[in-house]
Amino acid sequence: MSDQTHMHAEHDLAPGDEEQHSVGVRILGYVVGLALALLLTATSFFIAGTDLVWQPSIPVALIVLAIAQMGVHLVFFLHITTGPDNTNNVLALAFGLLVVFLVVGGTVWIMAHLNANMPPMDQIMRMQ
């Protein structure tokens, strides 16, 4: 299928295809990614156990750190960029996020209502 490679739309690369840099540059990218990921992980563990910060802010901080962690993975390991050669990957990511959001969000919403309307038997007994 080698003669089909030239048929790929020009501004469109698969993850991993885009690497035209030398090995050194690539390794550097992964090392930076790893360092950032470790830093974020360590910070999360630290924040979770510390009493140096205002306590109610901890869950928020953890959420922020988790999102940053995902960002680091996407950029350094999955090579998602905003460049024009990345449209497919970004769209795929967006579609995936949308579906996850719809399914998880919908599920939480539906299950909460179901639980409110149809509590388990023992709970009904207790309410009486």
* Closest approach of another protein to the CB of residue 110, in Å: 6
* Closest approach of another protein to the CB of residue 115, in Å: 8
Q: State the Cα–Cα distance between residues 39 and 69, nearest whole angstrom.
A: 9
**DSSP states of 20-51:** -S-HHHHHHHHHHHHHHHHHHHHHHHHHHH--
**10 Å Cβ neighbour count for 57?**
11
* Closest approach of another protein to the CB of residue 95, in Å: 7
Task: Give me the sign of the Cα torsion angle 23, 28, 33, 38.
Answer: positive
The nearer residue to another protein, 49 or 120, going by C-beta atoms, is: 120
Q: Is the distance from CB of 35 to CB of 76 less than 8 angstroms?
A: no
Binding site for another protein (CB under 8 A): 1-4, 7-9, 12, 14, 88, 95-96, 98-99, 102-103, 106-107, 109-111, 113-114, 116-118
The nearer residue to another protein, 14 or 25, going by C-beta atoms, is: 14
The nearer residue to another protein, 43 or 87, going by C-beta atoms, is: 87
Place of tokens 């090579």: 79
The nearer residue to another protein, 27 or 99, going by C-beta atoms, is: 99
